[in-house]
Chains A and B, each alone.
Chain A
Amino acid sequence: EPEVTQTPSHQVTQMGQEVILRCVPISNHLYFYWYRQILGQKVEFLVSFYNNEISEKSEIFDDQFSVERPDGSNFTLKIRSTKLEDSAMYFCAAFGQLNTEAFFGQGTRLTVV
């Protein structure tokens, strides 16, 4: 069973629409992250989340983005009004103890048209 599961695997959306990307880590994970990889480029940090609040965010993570863990299990990334340049692979990552290896989900490929 994978440590981190992401849904959907692929989402196509129209520019301006809201999208929600979902991540389900296993129950003993404490630290959660979203990363983004624009096609063919490096994996970039977006945001980290611990103890039900954002602990760090990058300059990419502007007001269009938000994260939450509403029910103690799912960890979501919402993009309020998608832009073409939001097209990328989005990875959720989680780990239980600080500085152990992060378990990455299989990614959600977001295509904004």
Chain B
Amino acid sequence: AQKVTQAQTEISVVEKEDVTLDCVYETRDTTYYLFWYKQPPSGELVFLIRRNSFDEQNEISGRYSWNFQKSTSSFNFTITASQVVDSAVYFCALSEETTSGTYKYIFGTGTRLKVLA
């Protein structure tokens, strides 16, 4: 079965510390996509990144970086020099092909990140 595991329920760090959020997935598909979304206290889901299963290059965007390792089925997210505004719940998601040929997202349970001033 397709599954996304975010084992860290909540992480607290002090501002300027680096923090890594873990995501481990299970899928039977050979082609799949992985995503990270941020949910700030206001509640909306903000898209951060999409990665396809054939692209294992790490990606950096400002203070954010992602490490995709197919061998360990992991797609971890690191925030460098964290800031209070990074405080949010972060969701990892996996796209799953449905029987109708479309796709749906399977979300992990989320990691609540608290960055303390």
Compute the total of residue contacts between A and B using a CB distance below 8 Å. 64
Contact B104 A42, beta carbon cutoff 8 Å: no
Query: Does A100 touch B at the CB level, under 8 Å?
Result: yes
Cα-based distance from A102 to B106 in the complex (angstroms): 12
Chain B residues within 8 Å of A, Cβ to Cβ: 33, 35, 37, 42-45, 47, 50, 52, 91, 93, 95, 98-110
Query: Does A18 touch B at the CB level, under 8 Å?
Result: no
Contact A104 B107, beta carbon cutoff 8 Å: no
B93: A residues at CB distance < 8 A? 43
Most buried by B among A42, A48, A55, A91: A42
Query: Does A22 touch B at the CB level, under 8 Å?
Result: no
By size class, the interface of chain A is 20 to 34
Q: CB within 8 Å of B: which of A54-113?
A: 55-56, 89, 91, 93, 98-107, 109
